[in-house]
Amino acid sequence: MADVVVEHGRVAGATGARKRTSLHNALKRKSTVAFFLTLPLILLIALLVLYPALFSIHLATLNKSMQKFVGFGNFTFLFKRETFWMVVKQSCIFAITAVIFKALIGFIVAHFVHNIPAKGQRKWRGMLLVPWVIPPAMSTLAWLWLFDPSYSAFNYTLSLFGIGPVNWLGDAAWARFSIILVNVWYGAPFFMIMYLAALKSVPDQLYEAAAIDGANWWQRIWYVTLPMMRNIIAITTLFSLIVTFANFDIVRILTSGGPLDQTQIFATYAFRVGIESSDIPLGASVSLFMVPILAVAAIFILRDVNKRGNEA
């Protein structure tokens, strides 16, 4: 048998060359079509994402009038600014706190929705997802009005219980709380919907098997639900972390970073410095500080998404 195969190889060798070129042509045809189909995408990414990203690094090394190369000058300048460190701290606190609460609330609400009869789930899910659907700039305006110090609906309601007016956005601590609250309000439905999809994908037999094995409600969540949803929880959390961390709309509309930069985060600070104060290089430098944190989150997401792909 073996030598027969060898002989085949030799006999076919003569025609091999011709075949390979035609095969090569077919491949070339296919990849030419593929190239043209993906060309607009490649151009878009290259010109409007990749190039600006690199350009940003270049900008960050210039002085304010963009005439002179200052190397790491902008960065060292930022390091000496107390405001900048406040921005770093606030960005991290906002993102982490908001994401934790989004994740918790989303998880709890998803469970409640999953708990009720399937017939009514659509309706509840529909109402609970509304915050995610409204453009955040629009809904934040409503929050701004709810938080209004003099005619505010919140303060009116609290006054009915004899609780004095709260300076929701004027006091640094309350302003931070308010920003996190709006972030949670806006982002929790996304978690809810992702968890709900994941919950539905857990086969009922697993719960039945766990129940027969004597697992109580809590153990079923801990040993069945969470492990099965581990991956989607990780992806959703990391994804939300990026979105929350880089968020601009909510802080911009609620406080514009005030009072006294005490709610300033990367996006709003970069806007303040780069656009409003026209120091483009410094603004670019501020933005660039987001990159390491975003990159770490992105790498983990990519790992999890690929893992999901392999499981499927």
Partner 1 sequence: MADVSLRKVVKRYDDVEAVRGIDLEIADHEFIVLVGPSGCGKSTTLRMIAGLEDISDGDILIGGDVVNDVPPKDRDIAMVFQNYALYPHMTVAENMSFGLRLKHYPKAEIKERVTEAARLLDITDLIDRKPKQLSGGQRQRVAMGRAIVRNPKVFLFDEPLSNLDAKLRVQMRIEIKKVHQKVRTTTVYVTHDQVEAMTLADRVVVMNKGCIEQIGTPNELYHKPATRFVAGFIGSPAMNFVPCRLEDVGGSLQIRLTDRIAFTLPPARAARYNALPRTDKLLLGIRPEHLTESHAHLEPGVETFDTVLDVTEPMGMETLVYFGLNGTPICGRVNPNAGAKDGSPMRLAMDLNNMHLLNEATGVVL
Partner 2 sequence: MSTIAIDKAGPRRKVKYGSMSRDRAWALRWSYFFLVVFVIFSLTPPIYMLITSLKSSAEISAATNPWWVFHPTLSNYVELLTSNQFLRFFWNSAMVSIVVVIVTMLISVPAAFALARMKFWGSATLATGVFLTYLIPDSLLFIPLFKMFALIQDLTGITLLNRWYVLLFVYPTLTVPFCTWIMIGYFASIPKELDEAAIIDGASWLQTLTRIFIPVALPGLIAATIFAFTVSWAQFLYPLVFTTSIDQLVLPVGITTTLIKGDVFNWGQIMTGALLGAAPPLIIYAFLMDYYIAGLTAGATKG
Count Cβ atoms within 10 A of the Cβ of residue 173 and give its class: 0-12 exposed, 13-18 middle, 19 or more buried. exposed
173 binds, among partner 2, partner 1, none (CB under 5 to 8 A by kind): none
Stretch that binds partner 1, among 16-24, 63-71, 229-237, 287-295 (CB under 8 A): 16-24
List beta partners, residue 310: none
3 state SS of 146: helix
Alpha-carbon gap, residue 36 to 25, rounded angstroms:
16
In the complex, least distance from residue 276 CB atom to partner 2, rounded to whole angstroms: 10
Alpha-carbon gap, residue 155 to 165, rounded angstroms:
5
Binding partner 1 by CB under 8 A: which of 11, 53, 130, 299? 11
Check if the beta carbon of residue 165 is closer than 8 Å to that of residue 159.
yes
Nearest residue (CB) to partner 1, 16 versus 120: 16
Read off φ and ψ for residue 265, nearest 5 degrees.
Answer: -125, 175
Of 201, 219, 200, nearest to 210 by C-alpha is: 219
**Does residue 4 interact with partner 1 by CB under 8 A?**
yes
Nearest residue (CB) to partner 2, 2 versus 312: 312
**Does residue 12 interact with partner 1 by CB under 8 A?**
yes
In 3-state terms the chain splits into helix, strand, coil percentages (rounded to 5) of 80, 0, 20
3 state SS of 69: strand
In the complex, least distance from residue 4 CB atom to partner 1, rounded to whole angstroms: 8
Nearest residue (CB) to partner 1, 7 versus 208: 7
Size, binding site for partner 1 by CB under 8 A:
14
Nearest residue (CB) to partner 2, 96 versus 146: 146
Nearest residue (CB) to partner 2, 176 versus 279: 279
Alpha-carbon gap, residue 140 to 147, rounded angstroms:
10
Check if the beta carbon of residue 247 is closer than 8 Å to that of residue 265.
yes
Query: 24-63 mask for partner 1 (x: CB under 8 A)?
Result: -xx-------------------------------------
Scan for tokens 């906002």, then name that residue. 94
In the complex, least distance from residue 74 CB atom to partner 2, rounded to whole angstroms: 12
Stretch that binds partner 1, among 11-19, 62-70, 173-181, 194-202 (CB under 8 A): 11-19
Stretch that binds partner 1, among 1-9, 40-48, 86-94, 287-295 (CB under 8 A): 1-9
Nearest residue (CB) to partner 2, 86 versus 199: 199
Stretch that binds partner 1, among 18-26, 95-103, 116-124, 215-223 (CB under 8 A): 18-26
In the complex, least distance from residue 14 CB atom to partner 2, rounded to whole angstroms: 29
Q: Which residues of 43-72 are buried (b: 16+ CB within 10 A; e: fewer)?
A: eeeeeeeeeeeeebeebbbbeeeeeeeeee
In the complex, least distance from residue 144 CB atom to partner 2, rounded to whole angstroms: 8
What end-to-end distance do the CA atoms of the chain give, in Å? 40
Site for partner 1, rule CB under 8 A: 1, 4-5, 8-9, 11-12, 15-16, 19, 22-23, 25-26
